[in-house]
Amino acid sequence: MKLLDNVAIITGAAQGIGKATALKFAREGATVIACDLDAAGVAAVAAECRAGGSTAEGYAVDVTSRDDIETLVRFVCKKYGRIDTLVNNAGITRDARLQKMTEQQFDDVIDVNLRAVFFLSQAVADCMAAIGKGVILNASSIVGIYGNFGQTNYSAAKFGVIGFTKTWSRELGPKGVRVNAIAPGFVETPMIATVPDEVLDKMRSQVPLRRLGRPEEVANLYAFLASDEASYINGAVIEVSGGLVI
């Protein structure tokens, strides 16, 4: 098990990629703190992790609240003595064309997808640096690399996450903390559950592998990057997109 004794905080863990990542980490031996606004959802995910023999807790948290985040980090540090991995997975979309996007749509996405990544990473950095090791994994997107129609807010946030990753890898690397980002393409998650079939077919046709990704395929990369097998990977942005270029 590549993550034995690894204490990991995973946000957005009630469903989709976050849930798959929590379950994957648990199977690899990690102690999982599954976080989400959906308290019932993360409680169920934690129970599923424990059913497989792992230590796991569900924690209801608003990632846009600095107070919530600081309370979470204090709780984990006090109970487990350290934080080995942070997976900044929580994310939302509020799509609209530039001329139609409201300030609220813009702010909501920036708050969850960018500001929360800053809050969480800042909160765990000292804890990781104190033990001389740690891994911060950020959810970017191919939209953050190539842009996408109707996603001014989302692409800006995901591009910003790449900037965070490159900067923090330099700042925290000397302290033994690695920072990397994953840029998923089209993945079968609840986020695209409302997309019409004809649009999904078009999305599949754009991918050289001719299918959407599975949450588990992203989770597998998160687990690898969190492990000692990736001990010399720092500041990387890795696409998991089946070869898609928007």
pLDDT on residue 77: 95
Nearest Cα to Cα of residue 241 among 134, 166, 148, 175: 148
pLDDT on residue 211: 93
The span from the CA of 212 to the CA of 207, in Å, is 8
Say yes or no to pLDDT of 246 above 90: no
**Bridge-based pairing state of the strands 85-88 and 134-139:** parallel
pLDDT on residue 63: 98
**Amino acid identity, residue 73?**
V
Say yes or no to pLDDT of 197 above 90: no
Say yes or no to pLDDT of 200 above 90: no
Say yes or no to pLDDT of 193 above 80: no
The span from the CA of 132 to the CA of 187, in Å, is 34
pLDDT on residue 15: 97
- Dig out the tokens for 170 from the structure: 């330099």
pTM for the structure as a whole: 0.95
Between 202 and 194, residue with greater pLDDT: 202
pLDDT on residue 129: 96
**Amino acid identity, residue 99?**
Q
Q: Is residue 154 flagged as an active site residue? A: yes
The span from the CA of 123 to the CA of 66, in Å, is 9
Q: What pLDDT, in 10s, does the model give residues 81-140?
A: 999 999 999 999 999 999 999 999 999 999 999 999 999 999 999 999 999 999 999 999
Q: CA torsion sign, 189 to 191 to 194 to 199?
A: negative
Secondary structure (DSSP) of 6-59: -EEEEESTTSHHHHHHHHHHHHTT-EEEEEES-HHHHHHHHHHHHHTT--EEEE
Q: Please, what's the b/e burial string for 69-96 (b: 16 or more CB within 10 A of its CB; e: otherwise)?
A: beebbeebbeeeebbbbbbbbbbebbee
The SS3 call for residue 181 is strand
pLDDT on residue 241: 94
Residue 117 near residue 165, CB atoms below 8 Å: no
pLDDT on residue 132: 97
Domain topology for 7-183+215-236: Rossmann fold (3.40.50)
Residue 221 near residue 2, CB atoms below 8 Å: no
Q: What pLDDT, in 10s, does the model give residues 11-62?
A: 999 999 999 999 999 999 999 999 999 999 999 999 999 999 999 999 999 9
Q: What pLDDT, in 10s, does the model give residues 139-165?
A: 999 999 999 999 999 999 999 999 999
Nearest Cα to Cα of residue 209 among 242, 186, 245, 187: 242
Q: Which of 80, 154, 222, 232 is catalytic?
A: 154
Question: What is the pLDDT averaged over residues 5-11?
Answer: 97
Between 139 and 190, residue with greater pLDDT: 139
Half-sphere exposure of 131 toward its Cβ, with a 13 Å CA cutoff? 16
Confidence of residue 180 (pLDDT cuts 50, 70, 90): very high
The span from the CA of 186 to the CA of 206, in Å, is 10
